[in-house]
Amino acid sequence: MRVKICGLTQAQQAVAIADLGATALGFICVSSSPRYIEPQQIQHICTQLPPSVDRIGVFVNATLEQIKSTVTLGHLTGIQLHGNEDPLFCQILRQNLPQIELIKAFRVRTPETLTQIAAYQTCVDTLLLDAYHPHQFGGTGHTLDWQDLKSFTPPLPWFLAGGLTPDNIEQALQSLSPQGIDLSSGVELQPGDKDLEKVRRLLQTLGRCTSNLNP
């Protein structure tokens, strides 16, 4: 299972989290976010990470030029679109950056939100489901209604996000079978400052969950 820790701002923490076993790190490229990090800082951190760790830039309604510039400067391997980007924009982005993983996030307000996903299935690589908040695009600490997702079996791999913590991840994975999980506020001391002990506990719990699922 992919484990993405999002909202990294400190190089030392990013390296430590990669060493603990996270498979992907996310960097918030949204200037209004308390977890915002500039492209030059992303570059500084990414040059210290092992090549096996995915490096994902998170964007909200950014321009094509902004995304391309940040990907190049930051040595990113993936892009997460967390705003209102339509399928056409995703197609254009994919054409311009064909080697970069394209993740489209959906903030699930009601089960009907999931019907939007079909239009994106041919133009993105991965999906991400997050909790809806009227004023924030992510990192809210709010959980999804996992029961509403019981029948969610998309043709693309997907991340479960939204209020996940070391304490509820086992329950989440007993309810659902995502290919990856994404945490930000659930492993933080404060926005952008990660709690390495919480990350360690998360990965230990995931190890137990995996052992139980694959005896």
- Kindly list the catalytic residues: 6, 130
Structure tokens at 200: 């360690």
> For 55, phi and psi rounded to 5 degrees?
-125, 105
Half-sphere exposure of 29 (CA within 13 A, CB side): 30
What is each CA distance from 210 to 47, 125, 213, in whole angstroms? 31, 24, 5
CB 33 within 8 A of CB 139: yes
Q: Which residue has the tokens 């924030």?
A: 136
For residue 189, give both structure tokens: 């001391």
CB neighbourhood size of 15 (10 A): 17
**Alpha carbons 167 and 201: distance in angstroms, whole number:** 9
Give the SS3 label for residue 93: helix
Q: Of the candidates 35, 19, 29, which has an alpha carbon nearest to the alpha carbon of residue 194? A: 35
